[in-house]
């Protein structure tokens, strides 16, 4: 096998096949190439059966790229190699063996919206004031507990003397019970239940230890405690574990990533070998020098320094503007100029920022300048109402235990089944210890349901008929049957609005995605399609062939690269964030912010532009006095206000919201009205402007002085 394409350190990593190996791969150092060559070497030169090799990573995009490269290099037999994400791996294992934990193998996977809906029901049932205790807070606490493999009983035992923690423990317990009753798992459960399965059933663990004799893990710095335990259990028998990662790119602490998994690798695995990949093939030396300078200030890291043969390249550009509006205008003009001169295409440019709220200003300026763009991290395709409705039908067909899905569609389209009737059926289900759908089938036994029973029975018969068809029909045929027999699309057509037309197009796209799934799978199933949909991520939707500027947070940008990168909002309070600066553990938090900056800088291949603003809405969050916000120019400011209020960073004394602009004018006002988190004076519709805001302020001052 020819290894001449590899540098000295890369070759060493490929040739080290036995025992624990940590490859410290700096940004752009060719780690995917190393993993591909290593896989091929194991098969071609070491005689390892492809069936015994596992390669695991975090995103579908990364797994797809790895699969493609391995297939090209290995050829025959490569299909036997297990290339997958952590979550997909766990789903495959659980689909086969989760019945040993008391679940049905056709379990549903709950996304973030499903979790919120379930938590809302639980809080209502437990009579918890959600103004005082937010549903999101409970979900975050539960997720953190699962990351550390703390179950509800242990959680309760740990915090017996704390009133708030006791309430959290109660909610956690109820949440898990509800998931079990619905035969559903959230994303954290996929990992936790797999580890639980391995620890409870030695036969299953032994089977997978024998299967995966050689394990490779990409992006190891992003693993949390439960992922570490999963890998440890699988590798325990043969110890041929190769992990690739970069502690300098560990940026997911907020979602449970434990940087010490990589920093302490040699302690966790005896006789581990460490190889550093420091040669960068992506960026210019000026960009790398900036990255090295930032990250060298961190104490909690393994020493390394990126270098390249690409040359010094252009100097980094820094622009400080007066405001966020001017910052967005500057970036828009800069990109337009590059494209106009033929120096770049739109897809060669990316705008990276610390928070999602920053994207609004860039949207407005890009629309005004006619610059095509795509936001990563906006509304996920599968989170749109019409898509979730159709998927809820499919989930109900596949798994009748999923109360959430059934309740979502029982009145979609309108069937005249009121909330009182639904509550009666819910109470009956709880009394009998059965799921909601089963209770619907026995609606005649539910007291006080004489009139509603006639509306519920046709719904049950419809679902039963779809279940019968599911045995023979494809997923796309099922979707078409749902649309045809419910009249869902006909209702949208009758609306005759642009929004309705967009929804119809989204449903057509869902059918196309189902057809693509059927054509790409050897044995397509309804469960398999729902699984694929549940595991898709925002980043997976990026089309590299489309010509648009990408707008995304720094967290979403990891693993990507662009010739021209604009790093926006580089100022104290925004990046690094105010929360990091003022944290009780400021040293650790600032180190995380440096790692995030390092990731942002190293996305740039040729040109890096850093921007900041002297004035920005977020600065007001740091003021410790009552503030009145008068917004008369851009709707973006209202979105920023709402985001800051939602996170508890800002508590305005009054909001005067009368913006005008190119986009989202009405929506921005409605969001403030719906939030009702502060007193407001808001004009409905599109009218407004700075003169209106000034008039309101003057009227208020007149009243005070009079």
Burial of 109 (0-12, 13-18, 19+ CB in 10 A): buried
Categorize the per-residue pLDDT at 441 as very low, low, confident or very high, splitting at 50, 70 and 90: very high
Looking at residue 400, what is its pLDDT? 77
Instruction: Kindly report, residue by residue over 233-258, the tens digit of the pLDDT.
Output: 999 999 999 999 999 999 999 888 99
Lowest mean pLDDT among 112-126, 197-211, 450-464, 671-685: 671-685
Give strand pairing partners of 25: 277
Helix/strand/coil for 575: coil
Indicate the helix (H) or strand (E) that contains 184.
strand 184-186
* Confidence (pLDDT) at 623: 62
Report which of residues 682 and 194 the model is more confident about: 194
> Which of 535, 388, 397, 396 lies closest to 474, judged by CA?
397
66-75, 81-90, 221-230, 531-540: range with lowest mean pLDDT: 531-540
Residue 279 DSSP code: B
Give the three-state DSSP class for 644.
Answer: helix
pLDDT score of 637: 73
Q: Does residue 608 register a pLDDT over 60?
A: yes
Residue 219, CA distances (Å) to 9, 173, 194, 246 in order: 18, 32, 20, 7
* pLDDT for 82 beyond 80: yes
Q: Are 540 and 59 in contact (CB under 8 A)?
A: yes
pLDDT (0 to 100) of residue 344: 96
Q: Are 268 and 217 contacting, i.e. CB atoms less than 8 angstroms apart? A: no
Cα gap 349→549, rounded to integer Å: 5
Over the chain, what is the mean pLDDT?
Answer: 90
Per-residue pLDDT at 544:
74
Residue with tokens 């001449």: 4
pLDDT of residue 619: 58
DSSP 50: G
Specify whether the CB–CB gap between 363 and 548 falls below 8 A.
no
Q: What average pLDDT score do residues 519-527 get?
A: 88
3-state secondary structure of 373: strand
Lowest mean pLDDT, pick from 4-13, 279-288, 475-484, 513-522? 513-522
Cβ atoms of 312 and 284 closer than 8 Å: yes
Q: Which residues does 127 contact at the CB level (< 8 Å), separation at least 6?
A: none
Amino acid 622: pLDDT: 58
**Which of 489-493, 539-543, 677-681 has the largest mean confidence?**
489-493
Specify the higher pLDDT residue, 112 or 621. 112
Q: What is the mean pLDDT of residues 385-399?
A: 93
Q: Do 557 and 352 contact (CB within 8 A), yes or no? A: yes
SS3 449: coil
289 has pLDDT over 60: yes
**Once rounded to an integer, what is the mean pLDDT over residues 42-60?**
92
For residues 687, 692, 693, 695, the Cα torsion angle rounded to the nearest 10 degrees is -160
At 378, the pLDDT band (50, 70, 90 cuts) reads low
- Distance from C-alpha of 560 to C-alpha of 566, rounded to nearest angstrom: 14
Whole-number pLDDT of residue 284: 97
Q: Which residues pair with 22 in a beta bridge?
A: 243, 274
Q: Mean per-residue pLDDT for 488-493?
A: 91
Task: Calculate helix-pair angle for 498-520, 526-534, nearest 10 degrees.
Answer: 120
Q: What global pTM score does this model have?
A: 0.79
Residues recognised as catalytic: 31-32, 218-219, 249, 603
Summarize the confidence of residues 566-593 as an average pLDDT.
Answer: 89
CB 475 within 8 A of CB 518: yes
Q: Where residue 418 falls among pLDDT bands split at 50, 70, 90?
A: confident
CB atoms within 10 A of CB 40: 20
pLDDT cut 70: percent of the chain above it: 96
Mapped onto helix, strand or coil, the DSSP state of residue 567 is: strand
For residue 704, what pLDDT is reported?
Answer: 73
* Residue 320 pLDDT: 93
Report phi then psi at 487, rounded to 5. Answer: 70, 25
Tens-place pLDDT, residues 626-666? 788 888 766 767 777 787 787 777 788 888 888 876 567 77
CB 48 within 8 Å of CB 240: no
Token code pair at residue 72: 């090209």
């Amino acid at each position: 096998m020819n290894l001449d394409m590899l540098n000295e350190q890369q070759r060493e990593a490929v040739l080290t096949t036995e025992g624990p190996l940590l490859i410290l791969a700096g940004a752009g150092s060719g780690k995917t190439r190393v993993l591909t060559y290593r896989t091929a070497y194991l098969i071609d030169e070491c005689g390892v059966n492809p069936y015994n090799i596992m390669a695991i990573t975090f995103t579908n995009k990364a797994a797809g790229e790895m699969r493609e490269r391995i297939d090209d290099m290995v050829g025959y037999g490569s299909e036997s190699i297990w290339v997958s994400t952590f979550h997909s791996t766990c789903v495959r294992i659980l689909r086969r063996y989760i019945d040993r934990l008391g679940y049905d193998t056709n379990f549903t996977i709950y996304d973030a919206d499903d979790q919120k809906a379930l938590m809302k029901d639980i809080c209502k049932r437990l009579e918890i004031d959600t103004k005082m205790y937010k549903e999101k807070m409970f979900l975050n606490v539960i997720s953190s507990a699962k990351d550390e493999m703390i179950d509800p009983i242990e959680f309760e035992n740990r915090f017996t003397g704390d009133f708030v923690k006791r309430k959290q423990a109660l909610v956690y317990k109820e949440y898990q019970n509800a998931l079990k009753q619905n035969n559903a798992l959230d994303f954290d459960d996929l990992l936790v239940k797999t580890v639980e399965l391995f620890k409870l059933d030695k036969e299953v663990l032994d089977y997978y230890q024998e299967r995966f004799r050689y394990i490779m893990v990409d992006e190891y710095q992003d693993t949390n405690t439960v992922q570490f335990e999963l890998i440890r259990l699988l590798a325990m028998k043969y110890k041929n574990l190769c992990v690739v990662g970069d502690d300098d790119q560990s940026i997911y602490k907020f979602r449970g990533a434990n940087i010490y998994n990589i920093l302490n690798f040699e302690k966790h695995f005896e006789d581990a070998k460490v190889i550093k990949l420091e040669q960068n093939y992506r960026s210019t030396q000026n960009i790398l020098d900036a990255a090295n300078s930032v990250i060298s200030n961190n104490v909690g890291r393994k020493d390394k320094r990126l270098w390249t043969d690409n040359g010094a390249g252009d100097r980094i550009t820094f622009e400080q503007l007066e405001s966020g509006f001017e910052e967005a205008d500057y970036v828009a003009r800069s990109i337009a100029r590059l494209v106009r001169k033929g120096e770049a295409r739109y897809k060669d440019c990316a705008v990276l920022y610390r928070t999602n709220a920053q994207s609004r200003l860039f949207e407005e300026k890009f629309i005004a300048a006619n610059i095509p763009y795509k936001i990563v991290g906006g509304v996920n395709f599968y989170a749109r109402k019409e898509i979730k409705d159709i998927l809820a039908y499919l989930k109900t067909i596949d798994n009748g235990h999923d109360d959430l899905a059934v309740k979502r569609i029982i009145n979609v389209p309108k069937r005249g089944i009121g909330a009182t009737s639904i509550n009666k059926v819910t109470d009956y289900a709880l009394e009998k210890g059965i799921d909601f759908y089963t209770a619907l089938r026995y609606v005649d036994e539910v007291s006080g349901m004489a009139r509603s029973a006639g509306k519920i029975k046709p719904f049950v018969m419809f679902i039963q008929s779809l279940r019968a068809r599911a045995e023979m029909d494809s997923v796309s045929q099922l979707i078409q049957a749902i649309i045809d027999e419910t009249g869902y699309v006909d209702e949208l057509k009758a609306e005759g609005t642009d929004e309705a037309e967009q929804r119809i197009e989204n449903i057509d796209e869902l059918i196309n995605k189902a057809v693509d799934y059927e054509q790409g799978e050897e044995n397509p199933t309804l469960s398999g399609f729902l699984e694929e949909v549940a595991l898709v991520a925002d980043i997976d939707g990026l089309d590299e062939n489309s010509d648009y500027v990408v707008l995304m947070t720094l967290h979403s940008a990891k693993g990507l690269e662009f010739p021209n990168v604009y790093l926006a909002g580089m100022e104290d309070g925004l990046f690094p964030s105010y929360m990091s600066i003022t944290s009780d553990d400021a040293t650790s938090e600032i180190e995380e912010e440096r790692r995030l900056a390092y990731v942002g800088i190293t996305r740039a291949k040729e040109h890096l532009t850093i921007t900041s603003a002297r004035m920005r809405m977020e600065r007001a969050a740091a003021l410790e006095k009552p503030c009145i916000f008068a917004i008369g120019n851009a709707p973006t400011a209202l979105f920023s206000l709402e985001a800051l209020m939602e996170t508890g960073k800002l508590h305005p004394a009054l909001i005067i919201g009368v913006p005008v602009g190119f986009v989202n004018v009405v929506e921005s006002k409605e969001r403030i009205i719906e939030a009702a988190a502060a007193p407001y004076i808001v004009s409905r519709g599109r009218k407004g402007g700075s003169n209106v805001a000034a008039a309101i302020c003057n009227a208020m001052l007149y009243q005070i002085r009079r």
